[in-house]
Structure 1
Amino acid sequence: MIKKYPRTMMAIHWITLIAVATAYITSGNPLKDPQLGTIHLLSGGTVFVLFCLRCIAFLLLHKDFPKNEIINKLQNFLFKTVKVLLYALLMIVPVSGYLALSSIADSYSLLGQNVYVIESLYGDFYLGDIHQVLGNVFVSLVGFHACAALFHHFFLKDNVLKSMI
């Protein structure tokens, strides 16, 4: 029998993927295209909320996670490094997006509600490039993570991928 991740973690994992993909597809200056900007900000905010929920779920459920065999030191290093980077970027990319918005807008309306922006950041410097680079690094890591899962499934023939489905 395949030991799976708790359903809560699986749901957070896959909903996060959808939110990240949506944020990536709708990226750009939210002031130039308000409709795409709204979708981008909502999906980025969703990523941040899901990150917080993921951390809580991890603390409560990590004892129920499947124990996957580590083949060698390189695999162990890659697993730990990518995991730390993914978790860090799940927090840093949405926060950098909020700071980027604050650097280009002295006010912003999202679904008819004013979004609090940090006024002291407005106009001094543009943080959007940093947010974009971090987002691209994050999406690249997500791709590496997906390739690793497929490698496990098709070449190592273990249950790493099946444990999250």
Structure 2
Amino acid sequence: MRKLTLLLLFLALVYGCNSNDHQTEFKKNTDMAKSYFKLHEVEDAEAMFEYLHPDMEWHMPGYGMPLGGIDEVKAALLGYQDNFEDLSFTAEYWLPGVNSDTGIPDGSTRVYGNWKATHTASGKKVDLTSYHSFEFKDGKIFKGGDWFDLGGMMNSLIPEAPVEKDTDSE
């Protein structure tokens, strides 16, 4: 019985330390993701690029788009910053991520939130619910993605067609 008690105590200690490691990584990585979003708000793409791992794989938000690498992510960031003003992100909540193979917390982070911006060309406001996930390697964003209704957002920016006046009834 004493051996079983010692074994359980040892396992609890190991699990507790392991859990704290993941919590520490989660906090560090969440802070990094928040900083990354702040740089997007102030449209500092070059500083954002420093957060990206050169071998990254990213789920792009467009329908049918393949995984993007660093070049596609950079192009998307520049596109948003070139076409929108007053970017702001409000997080609903940040959650720890898990290893997709084991289901065990791994220090990654994810967030549900809302982007607001003004489309530069049309002046139309954007209010976009989104989900983002971030995995890290070598202290940089390595995997993850952006999930939001990109098509709906872009469609909302199309100018409305003028209403034709019915001349037959006059």
TM-score, length-normalised on structure 1? 0.26
Quick check: which one's strand share is greater?
2
Quick check: which one's helix share is greater?
1
